[in-house]
């Protein structure tokens, strides 16, 4: 292409909402792919012969099967954890995590609290949208107030919200939300919500922009009037996950 022709190219070559462009040349043809985020069909492909005039020719993510990663269910029935899961600062190992000790269940062996900067029993999946949900079922019998397990919305040791099953001598097994906001620890539930000891409890979080709401159920179907909510300013890049400290999730 002649230099005088190149001088006539003015940015933006694609106007409007076309983020994260990736361009490739194939012979005399140019193709550029741009992100579409939650919009379906996804990933727009434009074509050009001169880098000036562009035409939308297709959207490559046009089948539901290509988007399975957006809604994932894990029954923990494999020999190892799925690739989507991550841990904090340490690799997966049988000394604190197992999917084989009780087939089709994840077992976590508790370590340090979410405030710690060292050893955590926590696995999570990265948040990919401002609107998302996470749900799990927990079987856990704490014996002291220092033992807890549950569902956590975690950014770092100074910023998290934790719907945990815990214990106190007066109320026995209970549910509550503990949090750390820019290094300031506090509890959102006073009093705590009493639950039956040793019974499976279903936990859910729903994030809508800056509104984070926790739910619980004793049977996995009745969630009505069983919610604990909090409105927060959430950091981008947080990680919903499962946590256990000084205890065991069966």
Quick: pLDDT tens for 136-156. Answer: 999 999 888 888 899 999 888
Mean pLDDT of 155-167: 88
pLDDT for residue 238: 55
Element spanning 108, H or E: strand 107-109
**Alpha-carbon distances, residue 202 vs 71, 90, 101, 230, 238 (angstroms):** 18, 27, 21, 19, 21
- Are 18 and 7 in contact by the 8 Å Cβ rule? The answer is no
Distance CA(189)–CA(76), nearest Å, equals 31
Quick: pLDDT tens for 211-235. Answer: 888 899 998 888 865 555 555 544 4
Quick: pLDDT tens for 26-47. Answer: 999 999 999 987 777 889 999 9
Mean pLDDT of 106-135: 83
pLDDT band at residue 192 using 50, 70 and 90 as cut-offs: confident
**Are 113 and 134 part of one and the same domain?**
yes
Of 66, 98, 121, which residue is a domain's last? 66
pLDDT for residue 151: 93
Of 66, 85, 111, which residue is a domain's last? 66
**Are 229 and 145 part of one and the same domain?**
yes
**Are 110 and 152 part of one and the same domain?**
yes
pLDDT for residue 250: 31
Mean pLDDT of 186-212: 85
- Are 202 and 217 in contact by the 8 Å Cβ rule? The answer is yes
**Are 18 and 124 part of one and the same domain?**
no
pLDDT for residue 47: 96
pLDDT band at residue 248 using 50, 70 and 90 as cut-offs: very low
pLDDT band at residue 249 using 50, 70 and 90 as cut-offs: very low
Distance CA(175)–CA(163), nearest Å, equals 7
**Alpha-carbon distances, residue 16 vs 10, 23, 205 (angstroms):** 14, 17, 34
Does the pLDDT value for residue 56 go beyond 90? Answer: yes
Does the pLDDT value for residue 62 go beyond 50? Answer: yes
pLDDT for residue 227: 59
**Are 115 and 219 part of one and the same domain?**
yes
pLDDT band at residue 103 using 50, 70 and 90 as cut-offs: confident
Q: Give the count of domains, the chain.
A: 2
User: Domain range holding 213?
Assistant: 71-249
CATH code of the domain covering residue 92: 2.60.120.200
Does the pLDDT value for residue 11 go beyond 90? Answer: no
pLDDT for residue 48: 95
Of 14, 47, 66, which residue is a domain's last? 66
Average pLDDT across the chain, whole number = 81
């Amino acid at each position: 292409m002649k230099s005088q022709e190149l001088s006539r190219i003015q940015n933006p070559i694609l106007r409007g909402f076309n983020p994260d462009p990736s361009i490739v040349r194939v012979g005399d043809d140019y193709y550029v792919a741009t992100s579409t985020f939650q919009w379906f069909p996804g990933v727009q492909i434009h074509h050009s012969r001169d880098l000036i005039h562009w035409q939308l020719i297709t959207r490559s993510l046009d089948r539901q099967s290509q988007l399975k990663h957006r809604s994932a269910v894990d029954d923990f029935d494999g020999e190892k954890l799925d690739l989507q899961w991550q841990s904090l600062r340490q690799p997966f190992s049988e000394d604190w995590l197992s999917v084989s000790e009780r087939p089709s269940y994840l077992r976590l062996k508790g370590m340090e609290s979410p405030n710690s900067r060292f050893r955590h029993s926590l696995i999570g999946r990265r948040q990919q949208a401002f609107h998302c949900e996470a749900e799990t079922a927990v079987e856990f019998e704490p014996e002291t107030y220092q033992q807890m397990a549950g569902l956590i919305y975690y950014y770092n040791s100074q910023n998290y919200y934790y719907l945990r099953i815990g214990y106190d001598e007066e109320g026995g097994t209970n549910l509550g939300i503990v949090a750390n906001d820019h290094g300031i620890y506090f509890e959102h539930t006073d009093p705590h919500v009493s639950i039956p000891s040793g019974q499976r409890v279903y936990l859910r979080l729903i994030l809508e922009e800056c509104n984070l709401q926790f739910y619980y159920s004793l049977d996995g179907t009745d969630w009505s009037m069983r919610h604990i909510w909090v409105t927060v300013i959430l950091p981008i890049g947080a990680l919903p996950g499962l946590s256990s400290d000084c205890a065991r999730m069966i």
